[in-house]
Structure 1
Amino acid sequence: MLTDAEWEAIAISLQVAGSAIAWILAPGIFVAWLMARKDFRGKSIVDGLLHLPLVLPPVVVGYLLLIALGRQGLLGQWLNRVFDIQLPFTWQGAALAGGVMAFPLLVRSVRLSLEAVDTQLEAAARTLGASRWRVFCTITLPLTIPGLITGTVLAFARALSEFGATITFAANIPGETRTLPLALYTLIQTPGAEAAAARLCALSIAIAMLSLIASEWLARRAKSRLRGRDD
């Protein structure tokens, strides 16, 4: 049986991960389309910057967010002054940190799916008078659904399990930013809490496995539906 504090950590984790996906989904699709369909000067540099959170220590990402969006940061001061928004040490800040870390996974999955779409189908639709937006919504996007599903689920799991960037930018505040990984970290440091730590560890493994299984199942189902539609 989980304690109230453990259930609270699970609820905060789901809230943070869901919010992270909500704000990165549309930008992720746009950036993936831009990288898959457009050639421009400095594209390799942009691609490197997009994948930088995957290779940087998460604590570094959290520190950079703190510098940029902290109360003394240039952008953070502007947000606080104009919109009265404070992101550090809030669950919204935790969602931002998780979204930044999960963004490359979403972009990469959608980009690979976009690159696999036959551009001749898009060209044929354009010759029949369809606008770019209509071609994207009726042809390109449906054909990328398997990759979009995979990227979304993997990004959700990544945001759910984020630790370093979250604790650096949003801290470890009970009832506010203490997500499942942070709760597990706290229990590991608490004498006599080995059983509770083992429960959260097992729960984290179960959530991760369910995310991977769900991603694979949804992607296969989307592919089968697309094949049936083509037939």
Structure 2
Amino acid sequence: MNLTVFGATGGIGREIVRQALASGHRVTAVVRDPARLTVTGSGLEVVRADLTDAEAVRPAVTGRDAVLSGLGPRSRKDAGVAARLTRTVLTAMEAEGVRRLLVVSAAPVGPEPDDGVVDRTVRGLVSRILKPVYDDLREMEAELSRSGTDWTSVRPPRLQDKPLTGRYRTVIGGFPPRGRFIARADVAHSMLAMTDDEGTVKQGVGVAY
């Protein structure tokens, strides 16, 4: 497949690029600073673009089979980034007639799983502390819903920097019970696996160990 990856220098985005190249896909990595992208490969094209300018982004999505985004806030101070930059990507995709889009969101944005009291308490505390971040992601998902794209929002819990396992649970429209962690590498793996999965189109998908 011919893929475009936004947020390619982040933890999940970098893994998407690495795994996609290893699987034989052609990848266009859109970045602000090419020097920060450490992944290399013969099927890789690196594009430097201003992600606040949809016109500048359009060439990077033209003719692609799918777009995958690791864009999002890394902390409370970055809240607003996900909705704002995803809006740019959506505008560019709709202008070029590219339909398939997969993004990273977060577990608290989706429906609450039927977990135990401890899990619910911890999740509620985290949601209050990171409320600006999750509000940003909710607005991003609202932008997706208003768009004409075939979107999927992947919702992981707490992220870890651990090796790829390929073994995790997914729930379309929900979240795996007692799913507390997942490696960034496995989030990337799940996104690539869902790229041609019609059952995940216009759905939020919970993913966790």
- Same fold, TM exceeding 0.5? no
Flag the structure with more relative contact order, 1 or 2, with Cα contacts below 8 A and sequence separation at least 6.
Answer: 1
Bigger Rg over Cα: 1
* TM-score normalised per structure 2: 0.24
